[in-house]
Structure formats: C-alpha cells, structure tokens
C-alpha cells in the first residue's frame, strides 16, 4: 500500500531532471500530485513558488508536514538520487548513440529492470522494452 508522506511535487516537463525524482517516488511507493512549473515563463521565480521553495530550483517535494525537500536532499535507503541521475545520463547517451563505460551500461540495464523505472517510463510515453544499451 502506498503511504501518504509526500503531498505534492513541483517539476518541469517530462524528459527533464524530473524523471529521476519520479523514479525515487515510485521506488518509495508514494502517492503524490505533480505540479508543472513553466521555467521559460519564470514560474519558479513567482511569489507562490518562492514561498514553497526560496531556492527557486526544480524539482521540489512538499511533504504533508509542510517541509520541503530539494533535489539534493532525496534519499531512499540505499537507492539515492545518484541512481536515477546516472540512469538519466545513460538514457540520453543511448538516444544520442554515445558509448559509455560498461559499468554505466550495466547500471542502466539494472535500472530498466526495476518496476518503478518501468512505470515512470511508461507514464512518460516510452516503451521500456525498446530502451537500453544496444552496444
């Protein structure tokens, strides 16, 4: 059963740095609401957003207790923000046909096997079965 520790998540559009945080929330099995912040329009500098996150950075989690977590504060046990960040790098390197070290491609394959990663990719319009290192 999903917990209700996270109330909302503010982020930019799909395929950006939000993907890593989305994966972590899925790994934690959290229920959350997404609010898209329009960076080109400067929404992250508007008073409403600055009241939530004075750093004006994306993404941010606002928890039920009112606390706010920014990208450098997310940790899920041994699964940290570094895992989806590395996955994100490998994901785009694969699309751009950039050859990465074997350890990175192995990490990408492990991440693609995670149910939370598969859910996020499907939600963002990708077919996980068609992704991954082809080298």
9-54: per-residue pLDDT in tens? 555 555 555 676 777 777 777 777 777 788 888 888 999 888 888 8
Q: Which residues, listed in sequence order, are joined to residue 36 by a DSSP beta bridge?
A: 11
What CATH number does domain 1-126 carry, 2.60.120.620, 3.40.30.10, 3.30.465.10, 3.40.50.300? 3.40.30.10
Contact partners, residue 79, CB within 8 Å, separation at least 6: 24, 27
Q: Please answer whether residues 21 and 9 qualify as being in contact, where contact means their C-beta atoms are separated by less than 8 angstroms.
A: yes
Domain boundaries, the chain: 1-126
Contact partners, residue 80, CB within 8 Å, separation at least 6: 74
Between 3 and 39, the higher pLDDT residue? 39
Cβ atoms within 10 Å of 112's Cβ, excluding its own = 18
């Amino acid at each position: 059963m999903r917990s209700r520790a996270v109330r909302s998540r503010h982020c930019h559009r799909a395929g950006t740095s939000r993907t890593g945080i989305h994966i972590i929330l899925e790994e934690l099995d959290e229920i959350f609401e997404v609010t898209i912040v329009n960076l080109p329009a400067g929404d992250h500098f508007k008073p409403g957003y600055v009241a939530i996150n004075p750093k004006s950075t994306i993404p941010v989690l606002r928890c039920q207790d009112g606390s706010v977590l920014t990208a450098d504060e997310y940790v899920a046990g041994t699964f940290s923000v570094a895992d989806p960040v590395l996955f994100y790098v490998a994901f785009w390197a694969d699309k751009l046909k950039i050859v990465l070290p074997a350890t990175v491609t192995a990490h990408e394959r492990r991440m693609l096997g995670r149910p939370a990663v598969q859910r996020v990719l499907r939600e963002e319009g990708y077919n996980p079965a068609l992704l991954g290192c082809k080298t």
